[in-house]
């Protein structure tokens, strides 16, 4: 409709009757479908996922557990390597099993030495030299052999246990380190999972709120079908959060440092960490 010097003018754009009839039926069908689904959002039944319940249990939060620094302090603060070695050495070397084995070997040596002493005394008595200094010296030599044999048996038995002390020492050190590492990985996994799950929960909530407008957008496209109007559904590209970006860069940095440490020098570790940091930044910029 337009206004001119000659009065109002109205222009109506018409189509072939069969097209207009078909379009009218199409609009009626769209309206019926719209009335049926506009109040039936498929996202209304979505239940938010609770990450804290899945990780820590119902009613618990990450703050309900010791912090990473607290865990580090529990296992590493005041750690004394010498005390640990001493406790392990005392525990291993004083095992009842080792003492029993040494006592059994010593019993055999004592019996053999007693027999040797008896034979020596008989021979010296036959020679009528029991009261001589030779008898005392010979008896002392036999007793000296007894003491040395007993010391050798005890030493050999104890020395064989030293590798076991070292193995237990290494296991204790690795246990403390591994416990802290696993605790840190669990916290990292919790934060990363919570970020992704919260994003999913918010996405479904927004889709539920916008469902009526999504349905009406189809109807709008149907109304303008004869003018070439089309329905285009666009989704905003997903973008990493700052926490996710930081964790990604840190992950590449640690991996690079680990690979660089294979060269066996601190320089290799530093170079590997720098390379991993650069790769992490490049991955973020290329997303």
- Give yes or no for a contact between 60 and 50, defined as CB atoms under 8 angstroms apart: no
**What does pLDDT average to in each consecutive run of 10 residues of the chain (287 residues)?**
59 81 88 88 84 74 70 67 72 67 75 77 73 74 77 71 76 79 82 84 90 88 71 55 72 70 67 72 70
The CB density around residue 138, as the number of other CB atoms within 10 Å, is 17
The overall longest dimension of the chain from CA atoms, in Å, is 166
Please write down the long-range contacts of 129-133, taking CB distance under 8 Å and 24 or more positions apart: none
- Give yes or no for a contact between 257 and 273, defined as CB atoms under 8 angstroms apart: yes
At 3, which helix (H) or strand (E)?
strand 2-4
Q: What does the pLDDT read at residue 263?
A: 66
> 11 in helix, strand or coil?
coil
- Give yes or no for a contact between 161 and 93, defined as CB atoms under 8 angstroms apart: yes
Q: Is 1 exposed, middle or buried (0-12, 13-18, 19+ CB in 10 A)?
A: exposed
Question: Which residues, in sequence order, are bridge partners of residue 4?
Answer: 7
Q: What does the pLDDT read at residue 230?
A: 46
Question: Which residues, in sequence order, are bridge partners of residue 8?
Answer: 3
Taking the whole predicted model, whether its pTM rises above 0.85 is answered as no
């Amino acid at each position: 409709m337009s206004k001119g010097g000659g009065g109002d003018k109205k222009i109506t754009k018409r189509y072939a009757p069969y097209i207009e009839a078909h379009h009218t039926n199409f609009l009626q069908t769209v309206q019926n479908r719209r009335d049926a689904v506009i109040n039936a959002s498929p996202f209304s039944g979505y239940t938010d996922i609770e990450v804290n319940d899945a990780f820590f249990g119902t009613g618990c939060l990450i703050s309900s557990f010791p912090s990473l620094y607290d865990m580090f302090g529990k296992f590493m603060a005041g750690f004394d390597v010498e005390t640990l070695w001493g406790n392990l050495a005392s525990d291993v070397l004083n095992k009842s099993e080792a003492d029993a084995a040494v006592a059994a070997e010593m019993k055999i040596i004592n019996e053999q030495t007693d027999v040797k002493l008896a034979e020596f005394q008989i021979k010296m008595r036959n020679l009528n030299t029991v009261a001589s200094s030779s008898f005392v010296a010979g008896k002392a030599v036999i007793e000296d052999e007894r003491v040395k044999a007993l010391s050798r048996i005890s030493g050999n038995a104890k020395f064989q246990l030293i590798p076991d002390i070292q193995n237990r020492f290494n296991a204790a050190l690795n246990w403390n380190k591994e416990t802290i590492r696993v605790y840190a990985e669990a916290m990292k996994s919790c934060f990363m999972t919570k970020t992704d799950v919260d994003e999913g929960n918010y996405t479904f909530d927004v889709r539920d709120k916008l469902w009526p407008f999504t349905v009406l957008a189809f109807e709008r496209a149907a109304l303008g079908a004869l003018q070439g109007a089309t329905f285009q559904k666009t989704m905003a590209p997903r973008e990493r959060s700052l926490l996710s970006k930081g964790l990604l860069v840190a992950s590449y940095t640690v991996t690079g440092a680990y690979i660089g440490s294979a060269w066996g020098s601190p320089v290799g570790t530093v170079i590997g960490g720098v390379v991993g940091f650069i790769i992490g930044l490049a991955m973020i910029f290329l997303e």
